[in-house]
Amino acid sequence: MVTGFGNGIIGSWLCCWLLVITMTTKALAEEVLSPEPAFYKTAKEGWFWYHDPPVGVPEESDSHNKSTITREAGPKAFEKKNPSMDNYTIKEIWDLHPDEFQGLLNGVQKKAVQTPNEKNILEYLIMQDVARRKALAYANATKFVTQKYSDKFNINQVYPTTTPGISARVQEQQKEISGTIQAARENHALLFFVSQGCGFCDKQAAILTYFVEKYGWQIKPIDIGQHSTLAARFNITTTPTLVLIKNGTEQSMPISVGVVALSEMERKLYQAIRYMGGETNIDTFQTYDYQKGGALDPDAILETEEQPWRER
């Protein structure tokens, strides 16, 4: 029995050795057949060993090894720590892209604040002077373009700033406002929401008296305490509140909340009447008829295929 046990151990030991020998032989064969990694051939040189480039082959520039900063990154991407203007001429600074210029300006400014010596402050003042002149050049060019294409960009035609022009503009606006309100009195009315003990409502009521005398409109006072359902329908929570309604329709539009002067009330009523009648939209809500087609009409630019910069 002992002999059999010993023979079993010896047999197992021989099998293990045969397996080890087989695996080692296979690994050596693979190592011989496979190419040796380049690093092991140059182990003494290490990972960062420098070689001169082969003759006739240009060396790659640093720009290929660095990430490119795009202008879309904004001025901050071009800001450098302690920049020097010795590397630039005034012409080069003048021709910089606005983001690059802003980055240089910021860097020069911070350097001057950090170390306020004569050279640093002088560089910053020069940068400021260039920026001022660039702004002046833009303003002059803009003035030229707006004068040359005055029918496109000059708003003095419809919104004058001289005293006679202002007087004429106010008269034109008042004429439109009064005519629109007068024409709308037959099929429009005002709901006047009030509440008990509301002193502001009394003041608004006095103003509405002048309005009725001037235009002959129908105004319906509604006490929100007694007509809570109607107040909720129009979402009224504050008094006094004026709401415009149009007869025969479900259309309505708030005119004012709180006490509003007669002139302001007229202007808001004029705009609401025109909007509810489809004469304006939210883009042209404040545009008067006499301003249509001009610089203060947002939609006017969409009504022509002619480009405003086309030479004539």
CATH of the domain at 214: 3.40.30.10
Residue 156, in any domain of the structure = no
Residue 45 backbone phi and psi in degrees, to 5 = -80, -25
Per the structure, the complete domain to which residue 136 belongs is given by 72-144
pLDDT of residue 240: 96
Listed in sequence order, the residues at least 6 apart from 189 whose beta carbon sits closer than 8 Å to its beta carbon are 217, 218, 219, 220, 244, 245, 247
pLDDT of residue 72: 57
Q: Say whether both 225 and 269 belong to one domain.
A: yes
pLDDT of residue 296: 82
Residue 249, in any domain of the structure = yes
Q: Say whether both 33 and 93 belong to one domain.
A: no
Residue 300, in any domain of the structure = no
DSSP for 263-305, please give it: HHHHHHHHHHHHHHTTS--GGGTT--GGGTTSTT-GGGGGG--
Q: Say whether both 184 and 288 belong to one domain.
A: yes
Q: Say whether both 101 and 134 belong to one domain.
A: yes
Q: Say whether both 38 and 77 belong to one domain.
A: no
Residues 208/169, Cβ–Cβ less than 8 Å: no
SS3 call for 83 = coil
Max Cα–Cα distance, the chain, nearest Å: 134
pLDDT of residue 33: 46
In whole angstroms, how far apart are CA 232 and each of 53, 188, 194, 244? 85, 21, 13, 16
Listed in sequence order, the residues at least 6 apart from 221 whose beta carbon sits closer than 8 Å to its beta carbon are 192, 194, 205
Tokens of 210: 């002048």
Q: Indicate the pairing of strand 219-223 with strand 188-194.
A: parallel
Distance between CA atoms of residues 267 and 43, nearest Å:
88
Q: Say whether both 36 and 106 belong to one domain.
A: no
Consecutive 10-residue averages of pLDDT for the chain (312 residues): 45 47 48 48 51 54 45 69 86 92 91 93 94 95 85 75 89 94 95 95 96 95 94 94 93 95 96 94 91 82 63 50
SS3 call for 175 = helix
Q: Say whether both 288 and 242 belong to one domain.
A: yes
pLDDT of residue 32: 44
SS3 call for 153 = helix
pLDDT of residue 78: 76
Residue 165, in any domain of the structure = no
Residue 163, in any domain of the structure = no
Q: Say whether both 234 and 269 belong to one domain.
A: yes
Phi-psi region of 234 (alpha: psi -120 to 50; beta: other; left: phi over 0): alpha
Domain count, the chain: 3
Residue 194, in any domain of the structure = yes
Q: Say whether both 197 and 259 belong to one domain.
A: yes
Residue 211 parent element (H or E): helix 199-215
Q: Say whether both 45 and 76 belong to one domain.
A: no
Residue 162 backbone phi and psi in degrees, to 5 = -75, 160
pTM of the model: 0.59
Residue 280, in any domain of the structure = yes
Tokens of 242: 């004026």
Q: Say whether both 190 and 220 belong to one domain.
A: yes
Residue 260, in any domain of the structure = yes
In whole angstroms, how far apart are CA 41 and each of 36, 46, 49, 53? 7, 10, 13, 19
Q: Say whether both 82 and 117 belong to one domain.
A: yes
